[in-house]
Structures are given as C-alpha cells and as structure tokens.
Structure 1
Amino acid sequence: MIAARPDEAVPSDSQTLKAAWRDLVRGFGQHELWLQLGWQDIKQRYRRSTLGPLWITIATGVMAFALGMLYSVLFRIPVAEFLPHVTVGLIMWSFISGAIKDGAEIFIENEGLIKQLPSALSVHVYRLVWRQLLFLAHNMVIWVILMAVFPRNLGWHALLVIPAMGLLVVNGVWVAMFFGIVATRYRDVAPLLEALVQLLFYVTPIVWTTQTLTDQGGQISERAKLAMLNPLYHYLEVFRAPLIGAPVHAYNWWVVIGCTVGGLVISLFAMKKWRFRVSYWV
C-alpha cells in the first residue's frame, strides 16, 4: 500500500461531480418539502390580501396591455398580432428574471433552514423554481383570455410548449444553483445581476420583434442577426412561438439545448467545488 505524500491533496467525497449530482437527485426526491415550502411562499406573500395571487395576473396583464398597445402603434403592427407576442414574452420573462434575480438570493434568504435543516442544498433551488412555476401558471390565464379575444389556429404545434417548458425548468434549476452559490460567496453579484437583467429586458425581443429590424426588401438585416446572438431570444421563441401560432425554427431548439447542457455542466462543477461551503458563507 502506497501512502499519499503530504503535498498531495486527497479529494473529499463531497468534492466530486458524483456528489454534486447526488445532491440534485436527493433534493428532487424531497419533493414534499420543497412543494410545501414553495406554496407557503405564495400564501405568505399575499397574506391578508383579498385577491391574493390574482394580483400577479392583474399586474402582468396591465403591463402587457399597456406595452402592447403602445408599441403596436409605434411599430405600426396590428394589435391582434403584436399583443400576444408581448404578452407571452412578458409571462416568460417573469420566469426567467425570477430564476436569475431570486436565485442570487436563494441561499442567503434561507440561511436558517440551511444551517438547521438536514436536507440537500438543491431543495431550496427546487423551491424557487416551483414558486416561479406557480407564478407562471397564474399568468397563463392572461394567454387564455387573449386567445379568446384574438383566436388563432394553433394546431398540434402548440404541444411543443411542453418540451420547451421542460427545458426552461431545467435551466431555472442550474441558473438558480449557479448564481446562488456565486452570489453567496461574492455579495456584489446580486445587485450586478439586478442591473444586468434590466439591461437584458431591453435587448431581448419582448416589446419588439426581429421583424422590425428586417430590411425594406424583407431580408434579415445585420441588426436582426445581432439580436439573434442573444441566447434569451431563442429561449423565448421555443416557448412563445407555439402559443401564438408562429413557426419555431430548428436552430432555436439547438441553441436552447446547447445552453441547457452547458449550463448544467457549469453548475455541477460549481457545486463540486463550493457546495459544501455555502453553509459557512451564508
């Protein structure tokens, strides 16, 4: 038997990719805990409120209507075409921005539970994603009303929203986990992400479309191609297009799948290196 030299670092079992993946699996298995905690977050937020979670729907609906009417006039796009684009974009953006901004604070806000509750670290991430899904479900009521006012022949392509939602959930998990760990270690990251998310809102086609950037001849301009370099554009497209009857291009799916796999790998490496230190950083 050969003994390890003093200058050779022996990796701990908690600092392996297998341990990081085991944390995600174990946390998912504790679904009763994070489902209950996520639902409790909604109840706590709207405690003593008459309308309760309906305020989520009302606020999003008013914002979508105001921006849709305004920019449809500015861009000279028919309201029936532009309002669903803006509405679904805002609904999806609330999920994306929530995963980023709330994810940066997820471990800091749950300091007490992390130190006292013997559970997987990923439980708090699943709790956040579940809460965002509840918000999304409330906001989808607006889409139902919109389809009743501006009916469209969606067809079977609308079912593509199911795999799109699955990909977005996986992305929500790795985004919250990665930024949660980094922002717990470096507290300046959270306000930086707040400003970055605000900037991304304006450079992502939510209240505008890539069609407004096309040339007069209908050809895709350099500006439109530049906008397509934004990964969030593709995330919105795979979810929004099936719900408004627009085609989804294959490259949109490939970009989203590639970013999902890459982000999950990065998150696993971050968990491998720093997961066991989170309880000391909070």
Structure 2
Amino acid sequence: MPFSRMKFVPVLRQGWILGSRDYKLIGIGSILGPLWPTITLAIRVILIGYVFAIVLNTRQDDYLPWLATGWASWLMISSSINNGAMAFDNSKRLMLSIPIILESFVVRVVTKQLLIFLQNLVVVLVVMLVYKVPVTFALLLVVPGLLISGVFLTGLGMILGPLVSKRKDFGQLISSLMSAMFFVLPIVWQPDSIKTEGANLIIGLNPLYHYLQIIRLPLMSEVPTVLNYSLAVLGAIVAVGVGALVMAKVRDKLVYWV
C-alpha cells in the first residue's frame, strides 16, 4: 500500500483500539493494575531524586521537578522505541488471524505508551505542587510536543519494526542503546552542570534530546527553543517518509519474518 493511499483513519482507529486494550491489561490480576507504572515512577523519582540531589549538590526544589518531568517523558519515548521495534514480532497471532493494517501495530505501541504517560503526569503534578513550580500558558505546548513526538515514534517504529523482524539481533542492540541513552541524555543530570561547549554540542546533535525537550520543558512551564521544534518536526517528517517507504517495500514479506 503506497504512502499516498495509506488509510490514516483506519490505522489510527485500529491502533487506538489495540493500544487502549493493552493499557487496560497492564498488571492484570493485581489489585492496582495499570497504576503500577505510575507507582514505580513515583518511587524512583522520590528515592533517586533525594539521593542525586545530595550527590550532585543541587537544591531539591530545582532537581526533583527536572527529574520527574524528564523521567516521565523519557519513559514514553524509550518504551515506544523499544516496543515499536518489536511491534510486529509481538503481534504475530493478530497478523495471521485478523485483517489489520500493519501500521496499526506501531500505532498500538505509541497509543499504549501515551496513555501510560498521561497517567504518569499525576507524579509530575504532585512534584510541581510540592515544590510550588509556577504554572504558565507554556504548559499548553505539551500538546504539540506529544503530537510531534508521536508522529516521529510511529515513523521510527515503521522503520525499526521490519528491521527487527528480519534481523532479530537488532532488537537487542536497540534495547542496549536505549538503556545507555538514559544516562547520556540530561534526565538525571542537568545541562547547566556541563561547562564545556563540546559536551553541549554532543547533546544538541542527539535527535532524541529535542523530543525530550519539547515534552519536558512545557511541563515545567518553559518554552522549548525554535531549534528544538525545528529539528523535532524535521525528524518526524523524515521518519514517517522513510517508514512509509519501508512498509511499502516489505508489506507482503513481513508476515513471513515474524
């Protein structure tokens, strides 16, 4: 199915149905169910935030909002990439039994992670209230930030999903890279602590940094830079374009690879 003929509405509808169903199944059998990802985030932010604020010699009222917003944003981004790469391998039964547009399986992953992110905003809200972070209209910018990031993550899943289905080792490689990125990106540390221009250049050249910023900064009532938005939009366009070409090429072969 060429990119120009892709059925966007059915893809979004099918992806939403599957993704929301996956979200409801989180922690099935436990008392708290889907609340566990948020509880886990809260525990990590409190414990690591307290310890790292001491280790990094920074004030908790500055550090914990930075950590909470960054960690919540990164969980959505990294989980979408990791699970998007496995989107087709993890959907083999559905691919073989139900006529679903293949791109829906990638939208399914992004939908689930977006719902978890919205739930995790409870942790961010509590931290903001405790440390009295001011709320401005910049908070509304989180909406375009999520939309741009969602488009990028969907396009990336359309690229990585077929790649991992055919070459399973790439799944492990992607998972390792995402684990490393948690420490490379300014999530548990702040860019202000870096004094060299070379280090800031490395951060700026990391495309994931800009997606992190266009979600995190509005949550802190700050406005991302024009560079953040420009590179994020460019990356989303490229990812979707390349992803559409990849899917058009492998669509008939993909079911035999999973």
What range describes the TM-score normalised by the shorter chain of this pair? Answer: over 0.9
1:27 aligns with 2:11: yes
Matches within 5 A, 1:75-114: 75-114=56-95
Q: Deviations over 1:207-234 (max 9, x none)?
A: 011100036xxxxx32222222211211
Match of 1:197 among 178, 185, 188: 178
CA contact (8 A) 1:23 1:121 kept: no
Amino acid at match of 2:257: W
CA contact (8 A) 2:106 2:157 kept: yes
Matches within 5 A, 1:1-282: 14=1, 16-19=2-5, 22-28=6-12, 31=13, 33-214=14-195, 221-282=197-258
CA contact (8 A) 1:102 1:128 kept: yes
Amino acid at match of 2:4: K
Aligned length: 258
1:24 CA displacement: 4.3
Q: How many Å separate the matches in 2 of 1:68 and 1:123?
A: 37
In the other structure, the counterpart of 1:218 is: none
Amino acid at match of 2:249: K
DSSP-derived class of the 1:207 partner: coil
Q: How many Å separate the matches in 1 of 2:170 and 2:240?
A: 20
Structure number with greater Rg is 1
Residues 99 and 199 of structure 1: is their aligned pair in 2 closer, same or farther, counting only changes over 3 Å?
A: same
DSSP-derived class of the 1:276 partner: coil
Overall identity of the aligned pairs, in %: 28
Amino acid at match of 2:24: K
Residues 148 and 230 of structure 1: is their aligned pair in 2 closer, same or farther, counting only changes over 3 Å?
A: same
Unaligned runs of 5+ in 2: none
DSSP-derived class of the 2:139 partner: helix
- What's the C-alpha RMSD, in Å, of the aligned pairs? 1.6
Amino acid at match of 2:11: G
CA contact (8 A) 2:141 2:223 kept: no
1:23 CA displacement: 4.7
Q: How many Å separate the matches in 1 of 2:140 and 2:256?
A: 44
Q: Deviations over 1:136-162 (max 9, x none)?
A: 111111011112101222211111111
TM-score normalised per structure 1 = 0.86
TM-score normalised per structure 2 = 0.94
